[in-house]
């Protein structure tokens, strides 16, 4: 009897030893294999839209429950990520085929003042710049845009501007944002840059009195010049009807190849090729005590302006055809 029991145990051990090991899931890496493995089952065609619907419903639940934050300036990151950026992304990525370079010059953390050229009859360059920077920057930073008073006097536009991080272009607000370590965007040409004729394209206008430089100096913030090519061709401004502009209390009333001739269709931007290049930052910490010195402010503003202008010339050489691939 003892011998039979021993024999049965041996058979049992043998059967356990020869049993095939359990298979690992398809997406679990094998030891020593560095090749990444995808999910066991590929996404079906409808899965992409299912995820979009689920994401949209989650957004609505957050809005209805009030589960989102708004800062002291009215900036709503949840709304910006869910609505604003996806809409502008279609423009800058698919319609304008935008190429972005030099994003490594934008600070990964802490304050920074991004200064760009303005153009385009309608200031789409500010929207494209803020979305492209957020998408391409490793830290996914938000660009807090400074806008003209007119923007914040328009009922619907002002709300959108506030919700997406904008504020009035004045030194106190700029210094508060920079003091909080934010990335601030400014276009010193203002309406002079946006409303210039197509014949003057890519010729930088005067940078005002250099208020943006004073804000940077007082906070010791580096200035990052950025050149934007492509905005001048979206609504080529052939003429400005000044009497009509005064009647409507607008800075200009544009006449383009498509507006006002085509009515609402004239508001569709032409699909120009865009290039955006961030230039190396200009430090200001060593000049903090000279924030009220007009000569220092003027020289620094002129340095920023010249940097942008030279970069525009170089980018235009890279893009001989405004509507090319």
Which tens digits make up the pLDDT trace of 3-27? Answer: 444 444 444 444 444 444 444 444 4
Taking the C-alpha atoms of residue 209 and residue 214, their distance in angstroms, rounded to an integer, is: 9
Q: Which residues of 87-123 are buried (b: 16+ CB within 10 A; e: fewer)?
A: ebbebbeebbbbbbebbebbbeeebbbbbbbbbbbbb
What are the CA-CA distances from residue 7 to residues 15, 16, 17, 18, 19 (Å)?
A: 13, 15, 15, 17, 19
Contact 267, 287 (CB under 8 A): no
Positions of the chain with pLDDT lower than 50, given as ranges: 1-40
Report H helices in the chain: 2-17, 47-65, 77-79, 85-89, 124-136, 155-163, 171-179, 191-194, 211-219, 242-247, 294-318
Lookup: tokens for 184: 């601030």
Query: How many other β-carbons are positioned within 10 Å of the β-carbon of residue 70?
Result: 13
Q: pLDDT at position 37, please?
A: 45
H helix and E strand count, the chain: 11, 9
Q: pLDDT at position 43, please?
A: 57
Taking the C-alpha atoms of residue 183 and residue 143, their distance in angstroms, rounded to an integer, is: 5
For β-strands 254-255 and 239-240, DSSP reports them as antiparallel
Q: pLDDT at position 145, please?
A: 97
Q: pLDDT at position 208, please?
A: 76
Taking the C-alpha atoms of residue 192 and residue 305, their distance in angstroms, rounded to an integer, is: 14
Taking the C-alpha atoms of residue 203 and residue 24, their distance in angstroms, rounded to an integer, is: 63
């Amino acid at each position: 009897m003892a011998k039979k029991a021993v024999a049965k145990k041996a058979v049992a051990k043998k059967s356990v030893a020869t049993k095939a090991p359990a298979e690992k899931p398809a997406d679990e890496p094998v030891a020593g294999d560095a090749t990444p493995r995808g999910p066991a089952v590929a996404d079906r065609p409808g899965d992409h839209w299912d995820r979009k619907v689920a994401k949209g419903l989650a957004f609505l639940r957050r809005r209805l429950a009030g589960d989102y934050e708004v800062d002291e300036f009215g900036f709503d990151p949840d709304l910006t990520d869910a609505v604003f950026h996806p809409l502008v992304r279609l423009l800058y990525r698919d319609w304008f085929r935008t190429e972005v370079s030099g994003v490594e010059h934008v600070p990964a953390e802490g304050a920074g003042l991004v200064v760009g050229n303005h153009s385009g009859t309608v200031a789409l360059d500010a929207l494209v710049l803020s979305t492209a920077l957020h998408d391409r920057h490793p830290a996914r930073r938000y660009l807090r845009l400074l806008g003209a008073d007119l923007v914040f006097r328009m009922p619907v536009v002002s709300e959108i501007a506030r919700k997406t991080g904008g504020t009035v272009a004045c030194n106190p607000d700029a210094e508060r944002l920079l003091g909080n370590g934010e990335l601030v965007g400014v276009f010193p040409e203002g309406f002079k840059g946006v409303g210039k004729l197509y014949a003057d394209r890519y010729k930088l206008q005067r940078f005002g009195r250099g208020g943006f430089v004073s804000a940077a100096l007082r906070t010791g913030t580096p200035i990052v010049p950025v050149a934007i090519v492509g905005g001048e061709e979206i609504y080529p401004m052939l003429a400005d009807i000044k009497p009509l502009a005064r009647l409507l209390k607008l800075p200009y009333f544009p006449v383009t190849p498509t507006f006002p001739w085509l009515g609402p269709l004239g508001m569709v931007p032409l699909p120009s090729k865009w290039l955006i290049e961030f230039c190396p930052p200009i430090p200001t910490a060593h000049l903090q005590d000279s924030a009220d010195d007009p000569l220092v402010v003027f020289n620094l503003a002129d340095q920023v302006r010249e940097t942008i202008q030279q970069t525009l010339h170089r980018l235009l050489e890279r893009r001989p055809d405004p509507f090319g691939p």
